[in-house]
C-alpha cells in the first residue's frame, strides 16, 4: 500500500514534488517548539498548484494515510509536526500573489507567500497588510491563516482573521470550497472562512485567501518609557487603554528581556540600572494627530511613574528602538534553548502576569523573560533552559504549565496567537469546557469524518461529552 501511494503521488503531483529522503523529511518533520512531539513521515509532498493539493488529498484519503499541512515551519506549538507514517503537505510552492486590487483595497494571495514579501508588494501600491508576526520575514500567509497569527500591530489593526474576506480550502474529499466574498459587507450563510482560520490544519488545506488591505500608514512616531516596577508599567497601560488611545503598537519588556536585548545588540537602551519594565509605543497617524497622541502617551506614562520617557519622529531611530523588542527571542539563545509561552490576559492584569512569571522563575530556578503586546494583553513569557539536562527540562515543563495556570487565574486564555498544536490540548479542554470540546469534535467529524487532517493536533477525538454538562466560558 505504501509503495502504491508513493507511485500515485508521483504520478498525480509530480516526481519532483514527492520527497522521501530521510534528511529532507527530518527537516520538515517539526516546527520551532522544542517540547512538541514529532514523528517520521512517509513522504513530504510539495505541490505547485491547487490541483496538486487536491490530488494529494484524494490519494491519501483513498489509502487512509493522514496529512499534516505545513507552511514555513515557524510555528511554536508543534501544530505542523509530523506523525509517524503521515504525508507532510507543504504549501510553500503555492507562492503567487494572484491579484492586488488597489481600487477595492483587497488582494488575492496563495498560502506560500512570505508575509514580509506580501507586505512589501502591497506597500508599493500605497497599501498596507497589517498582520506582522515576529517571524514575518520568513513565515507564510498560509501558516498565519492556520494559526490566526497576530503580531505587533494587533492593538490597532487586529489579528489575521480581521483582514480576511474569503478563502479557498481543499476539503477531506479533495473538493475545493470557496468561502467569503470580495465585498466590504456580506452575510450570506455561515461565516465559513472564520471557521478555517485558526483551525491549525485540522479541517482542510487553505490554498488561497482574499484579504482586505488598508491605506499605507504614515511613518510612525515612537515613544519609549522605562519604569522602576512592573506595576507602574501596568498602570501606564491601564491609563492609555482607559483613555481610549489606540496606538499602532504598544509593547512591553521586562528586565530580563531588556538585559538580553542589550547584550545581543551590544548597546545601552538608556533605561537605567533601576529599570524593571520598558514600554514601547508607536503611532502611525502622522502629522499633528501623531504629535498629540505621542504627547498624550508620554504624559500618561509620566503620570504612572515612568523614570524616563523619550520620543522621536525619526524613522531610523524608531526602528532601532523597536529592534530591541524584535530580537528578544534570538537574544535569549545566548543563554540556552528557549521555550516561549503564549498567554493573553485582560490588559489591566498584565503586571500581575509578569510578577507571576518572576515568581515562577525563582521557584524553578530558570530564567523567564517576558515580552508581549501590551496593547491587547498577549504576553510571551520565555523560559531558558538546557535541553541536555533532564532536571532543567523537567523544570522548564513545570514553568510552562505554571505560567498557563497563572494566565487562566487572571481571566486570560492559554493562547493569544500561537495556537494549541500538540502542547496545549489539555489546556484547551480546561479553558473551553466539555460542551465546547464536544462542539469542536462535532465540527471536526462533519468536515473530516475519517480524521485525515492533522489527527490529534489541537484536540484528540475522544468520546464527546454527554448532554447536560454546563458550558465553561472561554
For 287-343, the pLDDT digits (tens) are: 899 999 999 999 999 999 999 999 999 999 999 888 999 899 999 999 999 999 999
Contact in structure between 75 and 138 (CB atoms under 8 Å): no
Is residue 376 helix, strand or coil? coil
Q: What is the C-alpha to C-alpha distance for residues 151 and 325, in angstroms, rounded to an integer?
A: 12
Residue 265 lies in a domain: yes
What torsion, rounded to 10 degrees, do the Cα atoms 438, 196, 179, 449 define?
Answer: -50
Residue 360 lies in a domain: yes
Residue 242, C-beta contacts closer than 8 angstroms, at least 6 positions apart: none
User: Which cell numbers hold the place of 342?
Assistant: 503564549
| Nearest CA among 8, 5, 6, 4 for reference residue 20 | 6
Among residues 50, 73, 90, the one where a domain terminates is: 90
Residue 415 lies in a domain: no
pLDDT of residue 466: 47
Among residues 90, 122, 148, the one where a domain terminates is: 90
In the DSSP assignment, the letter for residue 275 is -
Q: Quick one: 176 and 291 in the same domain?
A: no
The range of the structural domain enclosing residue 48 comes to 2-90
Residue 197, C-beta contacts closer than 8 angstroms, at least 6 positions apart: 145, 146, 148, 160, 161, 164, 167
In the DSSP assignment, the letter for residue 388 is T
Contact in structure between 262 and 269 (CB atoms under 8 Å): yes
pLDDT of residue 463: 55
Interhelix angle for 425-447 vs 390-409, to 10°? 80
Contact in structure between 181 and 82 (CB atoms under 8 Å): no
Mean pLDDT by 10 residues, the chain (474 residues): 91 96 94 89 98 98 97 93 97 98 98 97 96 90 95 88 97 97 92 96 98 94 95 96 92 95 88 86 92 95 96 92 90 93 95 96 97 94 96 96 97 94 94 95 96 93 51 36
pLDDT of residue 149: 92
* Angle at the Cα of 231 from the Cα atoms of 225 and 232, rounded to 5 degrees: 35
Among residues 90, 112, 141, the one where a domain terminates is: 90
User: Phi-psi category of 23—alpha, beta or left, where left has phi over 0 and alpha has psi -120 to 50?
Assistant: alpha
pLDDT of residue 117: 97
Residue 417 lies in a domain: no
Q: Quick one: 303 and 341 in the same domain?
A: yes
pLDDT of residue 136: 85
Q: Quick one: 280 and 342 in the same domain?
A: yes
Question: Which CATH number goes with the domain that contains 53?
Answer: 3.30.43.10
Question: Which CATH number goes with the domain that contains 350?
Answer: 3.40.462.10
Q: Quick one: 244 and 338 in the same domain?
A: yes
Residue 331 lies in a domain: yes
Domain count, the chain: 4
Q: Quick one: 227 and 358 in the same domain?
A: yes
pLDDT of residue 461: 81
Q: Quick one: 74 and 107 in the same domain?
A: no
Q: Quick one: 86 and 102 in the same domain?
A: no
Which residues sit opposite 67 in a β-bridge? 87, 453
Q: Quick one: 304 and 202 in the same domain?
A: no
For 117-133, the pLDDT digits (tens) are: 999 999 999 999 999 88
Q: Quick one: 230 and 366 in the same domain?
A: yes
Residue 414 lies in a domain: no
Q: How much of the chain is helix, strand and coil, in % rounded to 5?
A: 40, 20, 40
Q: Quick one: 285 and 332 in the same domain?
A: yes
Residue 382 lies in a domain: yes
Q: Quick one: 385 and 317 in the same domain?
A: yes
Residue 418 lies in a domain: no
Q: Quick one: 243 and 339 in the same domain?
A: yes
Rg of the chain's alpha carbons, rounded to an integer? 23
User: Which cell numbers hold the place of 80?
Assistant: 505542523
Amino acid at each position: 500500500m505504501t509503495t502504491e501511494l508513493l507511485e500515485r503521488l508521483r504520478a498525480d503531483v509530480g516526481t519532483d514534488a514527492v520527497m522521501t529522503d530521510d534528511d529532507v523529511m527530518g527537516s520538515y518533520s517539526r516546527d520551532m517548539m522544542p517540547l512538541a512531539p514529532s514523528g517520521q513521515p512517509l513522504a513530504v509532498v510539495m505541490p505547485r498548484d491547487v490541483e496538486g493539493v487536491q490530488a494529494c488529498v484524494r490519494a491519501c484519503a483513498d489509502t487512509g494515510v493522514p496529512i499534516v499541512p505545513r507552511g514555513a515551519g515557524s510555528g511554536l506549538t508543534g501544530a505542523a509536526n509530523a506523525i509517524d507514517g503521515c504525508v507532510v503537505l507543504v504549501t510553500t510552492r503555492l507562492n503567487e500573489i494572484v491579484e492586488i486590487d488597489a481600487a477595492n483595497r483587497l488582494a488575492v494571495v496563495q498560502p506560500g507567500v512570505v508575509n514580509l514579501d506580501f507586505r512589501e508588494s502591497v506597500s508599493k501600491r500605497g497599501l498596507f497588510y497589517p498582520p506582522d508576526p515576529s517571524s514575518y520575514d520568513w513565515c507564510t500567509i498560509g501558516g498565519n491563516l492556520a494559526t490566526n497569527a497576530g503580531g505587533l500591530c494587533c492593538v490597532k489593526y487586529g489579528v489575521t482573521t480581521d483582514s480576511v474576506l474569503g478563502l479557498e480550502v481543499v476539503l477531506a474529499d479533495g473538493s475545493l470550497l470557496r468561502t467569503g466574498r470580495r465585498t466590504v459587507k456580506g452575510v450570506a450563510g455561515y461565516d465559513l472562512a472564520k471557521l478555517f482560520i485558526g483551525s491549525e490544519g485540522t479541517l482542510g488545506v487553505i490554498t488561497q485567501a482574499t484579504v482586505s488591505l488598508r491605506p499605507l500608514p504614515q511613518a510612525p512616531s515612537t515613544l519609549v518609557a522605562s519604569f522602576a516596577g512592573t506595576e507602574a508599567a501596568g498602570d501606564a497601560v491601564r491609563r492609555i487603554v482607559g483613555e481610549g488611545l489606540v496606538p499602532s503598537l504598544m509593547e512591553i519588556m521586562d528586565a530580563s528581556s531588556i538585559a538580553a536585548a542589550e547584550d545581543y545588540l551590544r548597546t545601552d537602551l538608556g533605561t537605567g540600572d533601576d529599570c524593571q519594565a520598558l514600554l514601547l509605543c508607536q503611532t502611525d497617524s502622522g502629522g499633528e494627530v501623531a504629535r498629540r497622541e505621542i504627547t498624550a502617551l508620554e504624559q500618561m506614562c509620566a503620570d504612572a511613574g515612568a523614570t524616563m520617557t523619550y520620543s522621536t519622529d525619526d524613522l531610523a531611530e524608531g526602528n532601532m528602538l523597536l529592534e530591541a523588542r524584535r530580537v528578544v527571542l534570538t537574544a535569549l539563545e545566548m543563554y540556552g534553548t528557549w521555550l516561549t509561552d503564549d498567554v493573553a490576559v485582560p490588559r489591566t492584569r498584565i503586571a500581575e502576569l509578569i510578577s507571576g512569571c518572576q515568581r515562577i522563575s525563582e521557584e524553578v530556578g530558570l530564567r523567564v523573560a517576558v515580552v508581549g503586546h501590551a496593547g491587547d494583553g498577549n504576553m510571551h513569557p520565555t523560559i531558558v533552559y538546557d535541553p541536555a539536562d533532564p532536571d532543567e527540562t523537567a523544570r522548564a515543563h513545570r514553568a510552562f504549565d505554571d505560567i498557563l495556570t497563572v494566565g487562566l487565574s487572571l481571566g486570560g486564555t492559554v493562547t493569544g496567537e500561537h495556537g494549541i498544536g500538540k502542547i496545549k490540548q489539555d489546556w484547551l479542554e480546561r479553558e473551553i469546557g466539555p460542551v465546547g470540546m464536544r462542539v469542536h469534535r462535532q465540527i471536526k467529524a462533519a468536515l473530516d469524518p475519517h480524521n485525515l487532517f492533522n489527527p490529534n493536533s489541537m484536540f484528540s477525538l475522544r468520546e464527546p461529552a454527554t448532554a447536560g454538562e454546563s458550558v465553561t466560558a472561554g
